[in-house]
Amino acid sequence: MPEPLLDVRGLKTQLSLEEGPVLAVDDVSFSIPPGGTLGVVGESGCGKSLTALSVMGLVPEPPGRVVGGSIRFQGEDLLVLPEEKLRRMRGRHLSMVFQEPMTSLNPVYTVGEQLAEGVRLHQGLSRTAAREHAVEMLRRVGIPAPEQRVDNYPHQLSGGMRQRVMIAMALACGPELLIADEPTTALDVTIQAQILELLKRLQQERRMAVMLITHDLGVVAESCDTVVVMYAGRVVERAPVKRLFRQPAHPYTAGLLRSIPALHETGGAGERPRLKTIPGMVPSLRRLPGGCRFRDRCERAQELCARVEPTLELKREGQDAACHNPVPAP
């Protein structure tokens, strides 16, 4: 196995709330090899985005703070780096595409100015060379007439174009790792497919590793090598993508897969069937249940699940799950 490009071990990120501190990311571990693609999935509020911000060193403090674990990038622990060195690494070696481009792009600067800023900072290019590089990056991400669009402001672009600008900004300095946080949220399905195809093409061209955060299991199946499933701040399953879709071990993962609409299924008399859902709600981090955090929603819960919190451990070859009563293999 190649040495991981990114190796996260026992990550704990705390949020300070009025009621007291809570662990929003609790003992999360995963790794990404050079050129690999890791999918991180789970319901809203499970800690996916906060995990990404922890890796980037962008957790807002207060109220957040990384309180445990290690984040090794190319063998170097990012959590102990001086802020100045970490700032130089962001953009140059690891970059992030944020969930909503309209709030991430500065409305008072043109997209060209915002693209050029990073390459001038990290690569020392002149204003002219940086502008030329910005035009070339806009061309590479598929924006038409980049020589004109480089002088547009964010509000003059469509949602799909703004997302392409965000990707161009993230890739402008040739990072080894790209974190994409819900990169297709709020885009229509045709634009979603274009953005995902763009990411895949750029990843292959640059031999870049990708950490893809999403709630869309269809996107994961198309794009990822390995999947981490999170629930209430913890990793509940970790497996190669084909194995996870074929034989999920954790009941939560199985529930997520059952909730995917299938075109070929029909109900009685040809009616469209009701979607299979997971009953209940994700527990509040302020009031987590004892034992397994998923037990109140789990059809396989046992008495042990109420007393002992399961640990993430090997259940099948290459497949880890945090469950006392995992789903049997078919």
Residue 258, in any domain of the structure:
no
Structure tokens at 288: 């987590």
CB 21 within 8 A of CB 15: yes
Predicted confidence at residue 189, as pLDDT, reads 79
Domain total in the chain: 1
Task: Report pLDDT digits (tens) over 219-246.
Answer: 898 889 999 999 999 999 999 999 999 9
Q: Give the lowest-confidence range in 39-48, 55-64, 176-185, 274-283.
A: 274-283
Most confident of 46-60, 119-133, 158-172, 271-285: 46-60
| Long-range pairs for 154-157: beta carbons < 8 A, 24 or more residues apart | 154/101, 154/102, 154/105, 154/106, 154/107, 154/111, 155/107, 157/111
CATH of the domain at 55: 3.40.50.300
Residue 261, in any domain of the structure:
no
Residue-range definition of the domain harbouring residue 157: 6-224
Give the pairing type, strands 226-231 and 37-41. Answer: parallel
Task: Report pLDDT digits (tens) over 103-140.
Answer: 778 899 999 999 898 888 888 888 899 999 999 989 88
Residue 265, in any domain of the structure:
no
Phi-psi group of 172: left, alpha or beta (phi > 0 → left; psi -120 to 50 → alpha; rest → beta): alpha
In our burial notation (b when 16+ CB lie closer than 10 A, e otherwise), range 7-33 reads: bbeebbbbbeeeeeebbbbbbbbbbbb
Q: Which residues contact 10 (CB under 8 A, 6 or more apart)?
A: 27, 28, 29, 68, 69, 70
Q: How many CB atoms within 10 Å of residue 223? A: 20
Using the predicted structure, report yes or no on whether residue 273 has a pLDDT greater than 70: no
pLDDT band for position 268 (50/70/90)?
low
Predicted confidence at residue 202, as pLDDT, reads 84
Residue 286, in any domain of the structure:
no
Predicted confidence at residue 2, as pLDDT, reads 67
Using the predicted structure, report yes or no on whether residue 274 has a pLDDT greater than 80: no
Task: Report pLDDT digits (tens) over 304-318.
Answer: 999 999 999 998 888
Residue 22, in any domain of the structure:
yes
Residue 120, in any domain of the structure:
yes
Predicted confidence at residue 265, as pLDDT, reads 54
pLDDT band for position 62 (50/70/90)?
confident
List strand residue ranges (DSSP E) for the chain, in order. Answer: 6-17, 20-32, 37-41, 64-73, 76-77, 94-97, 177-181, 209-213, 226-231, 234-240, 313-316, 319-321
Residue 94, in any domain of the structure:
yes
Predicted confidence at residue 191, as pLDDT, reads 78
pTM equals 0.89
Structure tokens at 187: 């885009």
Using the predicted structure, report yes or no on whether residue 294 has a pLDDT greater than 70: yes
Nearest Cα to Cα of residue 318 among 238, 251, 257, 247 = 238
Predicted confidence at residue 173, as pLDDT, reads 83
Residue 13, in any domain of the structure:
yes
* Alpha helices, DSSP H, located in 155-269: 159-171, 189-206, 217-223, 241-246, 251-258
pLDDT band for position 263 (50/70/90)?
low
Predicted confidence at residue 193, as pLDDT, reads 83
Task: Determine the 3-state secondary structure of 228 from DSSP.
Answer: strand
Predicted confidence at residue 14, as pLDDT, reads 94
